[in-house]
Structure 1
Amino acid sequence: MSRMPVVFVSHGAPDALLNAPDAVACWREIGQQVADPVAILVVSAHWEARVATASLSGAPETLHDFTGFPQALYRMQYPAPGAPQLAERAVALLSAAGMAAELHPGRGLDHGAWAPLSAMYAQANVPVTQLSLVRNAGVAAHVAMGQALAALRDEGVLIVASGAITHHFGWLDWQAKADQPPVSQAQAFTDWVAERLAMRDVSGMLAYRAAPYGAEAHPTEEHFLPLFVALGAAGDDTPQRYRPNFAYGGMAMDAYLWRG
Structure 2
Amino acid sequence: MRHRMPVVFVSHGAPDALLNAPDAVDCWRELGQQVPQPTAILVVSAHWEARRPTLSLADIPETIHDFSGFPPALYRMQYRSPGAPALAERAASLLSAAGLIADLHPSRGLDHGAWAPHSVMYPHASIPVTQLSLVLNASAAAHVALGRALAPLRDEGVLIVASGAITHNFGWLDIHAQVEAAPLPQAQLFTDWVAARVAAQDVDGLLAYRSAPHGADAHPSEEHFMPFFVALGAANGDAPERFRPRFTYGALAMDAYIWRG
Tell me which interval the TM-score lies in, with the shorter structure as reference length: over 0.9
- Residues 206-250 of structure 1 deviation map (CA, whole Å, 9 limit, x = unaligned): 000000000000000000000000000001111110000000000
Counting aligned pairs with the same residue, the percent is 73
Can you give the 5+ residue segments of structure 2 that lack an aligned partner in the other structure? Answer: none
Q: Which residue identity is paired with 2:117?
A: P
Q: Which residue identity is paired with 2:9?
A: F
- Residues 74-96 of structure 1 deviation map (CA, whole Å, 9 limit, x = unaligned): 00000000000000011100011
Q: Which residue identity is paired with 1:25?
A: D
Q: How does 1:42-81 map to 2 (within 5 A)?
A: 42-81=43-82
Q: Tell me the secondary structure at the aligned position of residue 115 of structure 1.
A: helix
- Residues 163-220 of structure 1 deviation map (CA, whole Å, 9 limit, x = unaligned): 0000001111001001100000000000000000000000000000000000000000
TM-score of the pair, normalised by structure 2? 0.99
Q: Does 1:99 align with 2:104?
A: no
Q: Tell me the secondary structure at the aligned position of residue 36 of structure 2.
A: coil
Question: For residues 16 and 39 of structure 1, what CA distance do their matches in structure 2 show?
Answer: 25
Q: Does 1:196 align with 2:197?
A: yes
Q: Which residue identity is paired with 2:256?
A: A
Q: Tell me the secondary structure at the aligned position of residue 220 of structure 1.
A: coil
Question: For residues 236 and 139 of structure 2, what CA distance do their matches in structure 1 show?
Answer: 19
Return the offset for 1:100.
1.6
- Residues 85-143 of structure 1 deviation map (CA, whole Å, 9 limit, x = unaligned): 00001110001100121100000000000000001000000000000000011100000
Q: Which residue identity is paired with 1:85?
A: A
* 2:252 matched residue in structure 1: 251
* 1:219 matched residue in structure 2: 220
Question: For residues 237 and 8 of structure 2, what CA distance do their matches in structure 1 show?
Answer: 14
Question: For residues 236 and 163 of structure 1, what CA distance do their matches in structure 2 show?
Answer: 20
Q: Which residue identity is paired with 1:96?
A: A
Q: Tell me the secondary structure at the aligned position of residue 130 of structure 2.
A: strand
Return the offset for 1:257.
0.4
Can you give the 5+ residue segments of structure 1 that lack an aligned partner in the other structure? Answer: none
Q: How does 1:1-260 map to 2 (within 5 A)?
A: 1-260=2-261
Q: Which residue identity is paired with 2:125?
A: A
- Residues 8-63 of structure 1 deviation map (CA, whole Å, 9 limit, x = unaligned): 00000000000000000000000000111000000000000000000000000000
Question: For residues 121 and 191 of structure 1, what CA distance do their matches in structure 2 show?
Answer: 29
Question: For residues 66 and 170 of structure 1, what CA distance do their matches in structure 2 show?
Answer: 18
Question: For residues 192 and 217 of structure 1, what CA distance do their matches in structure 2 show?
Answer: 12
Q: Tell me the secondary structure at the aligned position of residue 125 of structure 1.
A: coil
Q: Tell me the secondary structure at the aligned position of residue 132 of structure 2.
A: strand
Q: CA RMSD in A?
A: 0.4
Question: For residues 178 and 50 of structure 1, what CA distance do their matches in structure 2 show?
Answer: 38
Question: For residues 6 and 118 of structure 1, what CA distance do their matches in structure 2 show?
Answer: 18
Q: Which residue identity is paired with 2:23?
A: D
Question: For residues 129 and 81 of structure 1, what CA distance do their matches in structure 2 show?
Answer: 9
Q: Which residue identity is paired with 2:56?
A: S
Q: Which residue identity is paired with 1:138?
A: S
Q: Which residue identity is paired with 1:43?
A: V
Aligned length: 260
